[in-house]
C-alpha cells in the first residue's frame, strides 16, 4: 500500500426516487418516509494532506459535506487536514436524496481515511445536527423518521423496478421545506399508518402491485403540501401503459411511473411511457431501483445493527 493510499479513503451512497410513502403518523414525532433506493450514486473521497490548512471541499458549494467532515474530525480529537472531494450523478433539489447521499458518502469516506468506526447510529447522530435526512445509509427499503434522523423499521427489499421519471423543473431546499408547518388531520395520520402497515406487509412479499398502489395514494395525499401539476397526466400514462403506480419526490419536483422490470414487456412499456411523458412533460429520465439480497426482515427496534455500513 502506497503512502497516498494510506492517506486516502472513499465512501459511496445511493440516492432515491422520491419516496414510496411520506407523511405523519398519529404519535409524537410521527413525521416519516419510506425510501425507494435507485442506482444513482454520490461518491466522496477524503485525502489527508499535512500541507493543507484544515479541511477543504471540492466543489466549493458542498458546504454541508464540509461541515460534516469537520464535525467528524473534531470528534476524533486529532489533527486532520486534507481535501474532501464529492462527486455525484444525483440531481440536486429534486427530491432524489442528493444531499443525504453526499453526507452519508462523506461520513464513510472520513471513516475510511481515519480508520474510525462509522456505524449507522453514529451517522444518524451526526446528520441530525445538520439537516433532515433520508434513510440512504441503510441498504434496504426502510421506514425512516427524517426529521429526527432515526430508523423506524427495515421493511425489506423488492425486485427491481424501472422508473420512468420526469422533472417539473426548479429546485427545492429540503431544510426550508421541512421548516414549513404542515397540518395533517387525525384521519390523515391514521391513513398514513394504514399505508405504512400495507407496505410493511407488501415489501417482504414482493407485492409490487400493492407497493404501486400505496405510492400512488401517498402522491395524491401529498398534493396539498407540494402540488405536482403533472400528477394527473402521469397517472393517466401509468394506466395506459399498465404501470404499477406513480411515485413522487414529496418534497421535490420529480414524478415517476413504476414498472416491474421482470415483466417481459417492461422495455416496451417503458418506451411507451417515456414517449408519452416526453410529449406531455419533457425532461424524461429512466431509473432502476436497487435490490438488496439478504436484507433481514422483519426488524427489531435496533435493526440498524443487522445491516452493514
Query: Final residue of a domain: which of 122, 153, 184?
Result: 153
- Look at residue 296 and tell me if it is in a domain: no
Banded model confidence at residue 300, pLDDT cuts 50, 70, 90: very low
According to the per-residue pLDDT averaged within each range, which of 32-36, 52-56, 170-174, 277-281 is highest?
Answer: 32-36
When mean pLDDT is compared over 48-62, 177-191, 206-220, the highest value belongs to: 206-220
Q: Does the residue 294 lie in any domain?
A: no
- Residue 239 in domain: yes
Same structural domain, 34 and 120: yes
Instruction: Specify whether 204 is located in the same domain as 140.
Output: no
Packing angle of the helix pair 63-76, 98-114 (nearest 10 deg): 30
Phi, psi of 235 (to 5 degrees): -65, -40
User: Domains in the chain: how many in total?
Assistant: 2
Q: Does residue 300 form part of some domain?
A: no
Q: Is residue 74 domain-resident? A: yes
pLDDT digits (tens, 9 = 90+) for 232-254: 999 999 999 999 999 999 999 99
Statement to judge: residues 9 and 149 lie in one domain: yes
The set of cell numbers assigned to 54 is 484544515
Using the predicted structure, report yes or no on whether residue 306 has a pLDDT greater than 50. Answer: no
Residue 52 belongs to some domain of the structure: yes
User: What burial class does residue 294 get, using C-beta atoms within 10 Å of its C-beta: 0-12 exposed, 13-18 middle, 19+ buried?
Assistant: exposed
Confidence of residue 161 (pLDDT cuts 50, 70, 90): very high
- Taking residues 33-48, report their average pLDDT: 97
Q: What is the mean pLDDT of residues 69-77?
A: 95
Q: How far apart are CA 204 and CA 158, in angstroms?
A: 7
For residue 69, tell me if it sits in a domain. Answer: yes
Same domain as 179, residue 265: yes
Q: Are residues 21 and 85 in the same domain?
A: yes
Give the integer Cα–Cα distance in Å for 268 and 237. 14
Closest listed residue to residue 212, CA positions, set 193, 229, 240, 235: 235
Is there a single domain that holds both residue 168 and residue 284? yes
Q: Are 203 and 157 in contact (CB under 8 A)?
A: yes
Task: Identify whether 304 is part of a domain.
Answer: no
Are both 75 and 212 inside the same structural domain?
Answer: no
Per-residue pLDDT reduced to its tens digit, 169-179: 888 776 666 66
Work out the number of other CB atoms within 10 angstroms of the CB of residue 89: 12
Same domain, 14 and 26: yes
CA 120, 121, 125, 128 dihedral sign is positive
Distance CA(277)–CA(191), nearest Å, equals 30
| Domain termination site, one of 153, 179, 203 | 153
> What digits encode the pLDDT tens for the residues 91-131?
999 999 999 999 999 999 999 999 999 999 999 999 999 99
Q: How is residue 243 written as a grid cell?
A: 404501470
Residue 161 contacts residue 208 (beta carbons within 8 Å): yes
Are residues 34 and 113 located together in one domain of the fold? yes
280 and 162 assigned to the same domain: yes
Quote the domain boundaries for residue 241. Answer: 155-288
Q: Are residues 147 and 13 in the same domain?
A: yes
Q: Is the pLDDT of residue 305 over 70?
A: no
Q: Examine the domain organization and report whether 166 and 267 are in the same domain.
A: yes
CATH number at residue 229: 3.30.70.890
Q: What are the grid coordinates assigned to 196, written together?
A: 405504512
Gap between the Cα atoms of 1 and 115, Å rounded? 15
Give the list of residues 6+ apart from residue 170 with CB closer than 8 angstroms, or none.
93, 253
Q: What is the pLDDT of residue 177?
A: 67
CATH label of the domain that carries residue 86: 3.30.230.10
Domain boundary among 118, 153, 188: 153
What is the DSSP track for the chain?
--HHHHTEEEEEEEEEEEEEEEEE-SSTT-EEEEEEEEEEEEEEEEEE-TTSSSEEEESTT-HHHHHHHHHHHHHHTS---EEEEEEE-SPTTSSS-HHHHHHHHHHHHHHHHHT----HHHHHHHHTTT----STTSSSEEEEETTTTEEEEEEE----EEEEEEE-SS---HHHHHHS-----HHHHHHHHHHHHHHHHHTTTT-HHHHHHHHHHHHHHTTTTS--TTHHHHHHHHHHHT-SEEEE-TTSSEEEEEEETTSTTHHHHHHHHHHHHHHHT--EEEEEB---TT---S--TTGGGGS--
Tell me the pLDDT tens digit for each residue of 268-281.
999 999 999 999 88
Amino acid at each position: 500500500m502506497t503512502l497516498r493510499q494510506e492517506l486516502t479513503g472513499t465512501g459511496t451512497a445511493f440516492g432515491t426516487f422520491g419516496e414510496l410513502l411520506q407523511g405523519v403518523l398519529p404519535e409524537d414525532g410521527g413525521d416519516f418516509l419510506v425510501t425507494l433506493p435507485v442506482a444513482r450514486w454520490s461518491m466522496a473521497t477524503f485525502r489527508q494532506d499535512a500541507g493543507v490548512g484544515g479541511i477543504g471541499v471540492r466543489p466549493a458549494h458542498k458546504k454541508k459535506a464540509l461541515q460534516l467532515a469537520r464535525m467528524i474530525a473534531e470528534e476524533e480529537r486529532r489533527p486532520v487536514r486534507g481535501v474532501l472531494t464529492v462527486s455525484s450523478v444525483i440531481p440536486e433539489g429534486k427530491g432524489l436524496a442528493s444531499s443525504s447521499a453526499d453526507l452519508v458518502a462523506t461520513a464513510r469516506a472520513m471513516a475510511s481515511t481515519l480508520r474510525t468506526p462509522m456505524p449507522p447510529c453514529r451517522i444518524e447522530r451526526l446528520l441530525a445536527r445538520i439537516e433532515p435526512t433520508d434513510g440512504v445509509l441503510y441498504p434496504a427499503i426502510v421506514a425512516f423518521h427524517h426529521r429526527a434522523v432515526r430508523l423506524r423499521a427495515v421493511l425489506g427489499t423488492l425486485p427491481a423496478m424501472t422508473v420512468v421519471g420526469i422533472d417539473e423543473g426548479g429546485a427545492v431546499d429540503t431544510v426550508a421545506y421541512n421548516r414549513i408547518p404542515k397540518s395533517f388531520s387525525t384521519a390523515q395520520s391514521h391513513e398514513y399508518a394504514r399505508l405504512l402497515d400495507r407496505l410493511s406487509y407488501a415489501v417482504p412479499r414482493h407485492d409490487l402491485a400493492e407497493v404501486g398502489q400505496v405510492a400512488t395514494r401517498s402522491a395524491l395525499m401529498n398534493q396539498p403540501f407540494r402540488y405536482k401539476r403533472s400528477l394527473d397526466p402521469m397517472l393517466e400514462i401509468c394506466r395506459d401503459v399498465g404501470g404499477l403506480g406513480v411515485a413522487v419526490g414529496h418534497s421535490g419536483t420529480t414524478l415517476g411511473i413504476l414498472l416491474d422490470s421482470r415483466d417481459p414487456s417492461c422495455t416496451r412499456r417503458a418506451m411507451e411511457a417515456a414517449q408519452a411523458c416526453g410529449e406531455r412533460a419533457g425532461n424524461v429520465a429512466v431509473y432502476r431501483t436497487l435490490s438488496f439480497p439478504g436484507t433481514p426482515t422483519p426488524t427489531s427496534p435496533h435493526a440498524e445493527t443487522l445491516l452493514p455500513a
